[in-house]
Chain A
Amino acid sequence: QENLVQSGAEMKKPGASVKVSCQASGYTFTNHYMHWVRQAPGQGLEWMGIIHASGGSTSYAQRLQGRVTMTRDTSTSTVYMELSGLRLEDTAVYYCAREEVGGRGAFDIWGQGTQVTVSS
């Protein structure tokens, strides 16, 4: 069964960094692009960036440029999202999502979400 499993909740202080993992199973990891999407409390979905699971190329949302880094480990079928210089407004649930094959840009499988709380 195709599945994405994310790491557990994190609590960080302002200025710190957080690294969230997302492990894929049940499909060929390198055939897909992977995305990160976040959702602040009571808010909508915000696209953060994309990583090609095979080649590792990335593209990030402009407002997060310089603070976000996405990487992958093909040996464990895992993608990572690291966000540095955390601010209170980075408090959110962070999701990884798989882009379906076919180039149509839809996210067909989602992780369960990781709560990241930034608090002093």
Chain B
Amino acid sequence: QKEVEQDPGPLSVPEGAIVSLNCTYSNSAFQYFMWYRQYSRKGPELLMYTYSSGNKEDGRFTAQVDKSSKYISLFIRDSQPSDSATYLCAMSNYGQNFVFGPGTRLSVLP
């Protein structure tokens, strides 16, 4: 079992839809949880950063962390074609390296 699992997709949704992206993990020591967006031929761009459990909202994006289930989610409301990208989850513990999921490829169709 990989340390971080993520459905690679591709996921296609119509414009305006609510998108749900998820990752599961096995290491209960993880404390920091991040979501990155990566456009084709670009470096990953930090979208959301959460410490420990709970929710965090930023505009159309909401990140949720459920440490009891070892499950994190990213919700995108009112999705736009410009949201079409690969979304990577990443997590780490204090003083440890970041571990990334393989990414989910999202296409938002106009």
Q: Do A and B form a real pair?
A: no
